[in-house]
Amino acid sequence: MKDSKKVIQKATIQMLWAYLNKYHIFIVISLLAAVITVASTLYVPVLVGNAIDYIIGAGNVHFTKIMSILIQVAVMIGITGLFQWIMNICNNKITYHITRDIRSEAIEKIERLPLKYIDGHSHGDIVSRVIADVDQLADGLLMGFTQFFTGVITILGTLGFMFSINVYIALLVVLLTPISLLVARFIATHTYSMFKQHSEIRGEQTALINEMIGGQKVVKAFGYEQEALKRFDSINKRLQESSLKAIFYSSLTNPGTRFVNSLVYAGVAILGAIVAVFGNLSVGQLSCFLSYANQYTKPFNEISGVFTELQNALACASRIFELIEEEPQQPEAENAIILSDTEGNVELQNVYFSYRPEQPLIEDFNLEVQGGQRVAIVGPTGCGKTTIINLLMRFYEINSGAIKVDGKNITDLTRGSLRKSYGMVLQDTWLKSGTIRENITLGKPDATEEEIIKAAKAAHSYDFIKRLSHGFDTYITEEGGGLSQGQKQLLCITRVMLCLPPMLILDEATSSIDTRTELKIQSAFAKMMEGRTSFIVAHRLSTIQSADIILVMKDGKIIEQGDHKTLLEKNGFYAQLYKSQFAA
């Protein structure tokens, strides 16, 4: 278990380094600025020590030399401030460029991930990885660059200065240093898994909040509030426990290293005083040494804090890199064909598909549809009707067999051209944040005003759009704002009416529309479907009686096939479904 954590941590650091390597110029400048900042800071105690040595006794002070030293101190402070500012600018650029790159790559990966991944993972958790985890990574990187660089250089610099003043006192400091490092390392190695768990639970909490807010109407309608609160309290309690544990153990680092550092300071003070008594060290040099001992131990406290923050950052980075490293959807063929001038001939040959290997769904599915035919798909819930639509659109890849459009295997076609050949209206509405016009012209951005109005009138959405505050320029959210479910569905129908693709997919396309408007829409659909291959998924069998082919599905297989009249005469499963709806 520990080995696997180390492997993951090592892989995370390697990936992070690949991003850092792009900005090596800023890293070099930041390092140089850190060196100059530390050098000028460490030179100040030397000057102060010299100034102390010029105060020989009462009435015997070299004011001229002290004034010269004070000017030098002011110059050093100015240089320190300037290069610290340059270092901070470089560190900020590195951090926020890297987080920008990681977020951009994560979003690009989400665009290329198969729908299987999106459907199989909580949307809130994915959002948490891209937003919260990357923010935590940014905080860790910023602290790392700002404090780690200067801390390490300060330690090396102070050691150099101390050895130049007195070797024995410097050796005492070096001998006591490993204790501080061992304390920091012990705590840091134990906090990584805690921060990883904390990050995962936070993602789980984000997912629940996202789910509850998105489904607030359902929650209230079914009185799920108390159960939702219990679930939230349970996750919140686990988050509290993991947070307290991670923060408690990580907080031990600072006091632990401070205790060791105090021992170092005390050791330097005692040994330095003894050496000064024997005249081998001046008072100014002892003062300088104590200042260095303090400056030498201070970075260990900062670096221990940096290690804690970096453990949190690495834990968050591993989650976002898990997303980035996910297997993308099956790439298009190198010489993928762009589907154009589609006739609408669709063929499914020996198609096998299952969402999970252990649960077979569609087995040995065969179907041949001629261009312009209307194919209705009916059957009980879960029989595979919508799955067929997902396979036709190549939202999911089939396990075996072939799906062909105009004799071309869809795996040999570009996904974009295949999907542009279909017009989809589903029971679930697809809207985006933007104006009504932007939502309608999603598939045809260059549509003219006349074309938009014509499509809206054909879909019977024009009347309600005209009554909105800004007509076609009314802004709506992804959830549709103040629009009813029926109005949102009419917008989706308008979108398809505008594009008029060669093939249509209608999955309960009028489920949320009133009966009177539905009759008008069905009339518009009938005109639109003329000469176009259409796949109609329906539960209300009254809407598909005019279909050329009716596929009756059960358990992922076609059990009956034919037109409405033929299937009724068979008196089989379709006849039972039909009679159950029209028993009266």
Domain spans in the chain, listed from the N-terminal domain onward: 2-324, 330-421+535-584
What pTM does this model have?
0.64
Residues 6 or more apart whose CB falls under 8 angstroms from that of 384 comprise 361, 362, 553, 555, 556
- Residue 459's SS3 state is coil
Residue 347's SS3 state is: strand
As a whole number, the mean pLDDT across the chain is 81
Residue 269 structure tokens: 């003070």
Nearest to 378 by CA among 532, 570, 562: 562
Residue pLDDT tens, the chain, 584 long: 455 666 777 788 888 888 888 888 888 898 898 888 888 888 887 777 777 777 765 566 677 777 888 888 889 889 989 998 998 898 888 888 888 888 898 888 888 888 878 877 777 788 888 888 888 888 887 777 777 778 888 888 888 877 877 787 778 777 777 776 677 667 766 676 777 788 788 878 888 888 887 777 788 878 888 888 888 899 888 888 888 888 787 777 777 777 777 777 777 778 777 877 776 777 777 777 777 777 777 776 677 667 767 777 888 888 888 888 888 887 777 788 888 888 888 898 888 888 877 777 888 888 888 888 888 888 887 777 788 888 888 888 888 899 999 888 988 888 888 888 888 887 777 888 888 999 899 888 888 999 999 989 888 888 888 988 888 998 888 777 678 877 888 888 888 888 888 888 888 766 666 777 677 777 777 777 788 888 888 777 766 777 888 888 887 777 888 888 888 888 888 888 877 776 54
Quick one: pLDDT at residue 398? 87
Q: Give pLDDT tens digits for 558-583.
A: 788 888 888 888 888 888 887 777 65
Question: Which superfamily is assigned to 330-421+535-584 in CATH?
Answer: P-loop containing nucleotide triphosphate hydrolases (3.40.50.300)
CATH class of 2-324: mainly alpha
Instruction: Tokens for 66, please give them.
Output: 């002290």
Distance CA 255, CA 278 (A): 35
pLDDT of residue 469: 85
Per-residue model confidence (pLDDT) at position 20: 83
Residue 130's pLDDT is what? Answer: 87
CA dihedral 405, 411, 414, 420 (to 10 degrees): 40
Burial class (CB in 10 A: 0-12, 13-18, 19+), 339: buried
322: amino acid identity, one letter: E
Q: Which residue reads 């936070």 in tokens?
A: 202
380 φψ region: left (φ > 0), alpha (ψ -120 to 50), beta (else):
beta
pLDDT confidence of residue 82: 93
Q: Is 40 helix (H, G, I), strand (E, B) or coil?
A: helix
For residue 304, the model assigns a pLDDT of: 65
Residue 5 is predicted with a pLDDT of: 63
The model's pLDDT over 481-509, given as tens digits with 9 standing for 90+, comes to 678 877 888 888 888 888 888 888 888 76
- The residues near 336 (Cβ < 8 Å, ≥ 6 apart) are 412, 413, 414
Burial of 209 (0-12, 13-18, 19+ CB in 10 A): middle
- CA-CA distance, 480 to 184, in Å (whole number)? 53
pLDDT at 85: 92
Q: What is the per-residue pLDDT for 546? A: 77
- Report whether 205 contacts 236 (CB < 8 A): yes
Contact (Cβ atoms closer than 8 angstroms) between residue 558 and residue 496: no
What separation in angstroms does the CA of 490 have from each of 258, 376, 428, 495?
68, 21, 12, 9
